[in-house]
Amino acid sequence: MGNGGLIGPAATQRFGELVAESASPIDDVRGSANYRRHALAVMARRTLTWTWNEYTQSLRSAA
């Protein structure tokens, strides 16, 4: 990954799992704690992918 390559799906999946595991959301009328943990995992995976893509793009443009 340090060379600006792609992040594999296993790495993004694990990152999402770690984020979800570290959260302690509440249950309420707007959503269950399980739903919120799932949403956090999805957002974390997307954010990691977007950030990595921006980073590798900046490496390519700097070269």
Q: How many domains does the chain have?
A: 1
Q: Quickly state the pLDDT bin for 2 (edges 50, 70, 90).
A: low
Give residue 53's domain range.
9-62
Determine which helix (DSSP H) or strand (DSSP E) holds 9, and give its type and residue range: helix 9-22
Stated pTM of the model: 0.84
pLDDT above 90: residue 6: no
Residue 1 lies in a domain: no
- Angstrom distance (rounded) from CA 43 to CA 59: 24
pLDDT above 80: residue 14: yes
Q: What is the pLDDT of residues 15-57, one digit of tens each?
A: 999 999 999 999 999 999 999 999 999 999 999 999 999 999 9
C-alpha distance from residue 60 to each of 13, 31, 55 (Å): 26, 42, 9
pLDDT above 80: residue 3: no
Q: Under a CB-based contact definition with an 8 Å cutoff, are residues 20 and 37 in contact?
A: yes
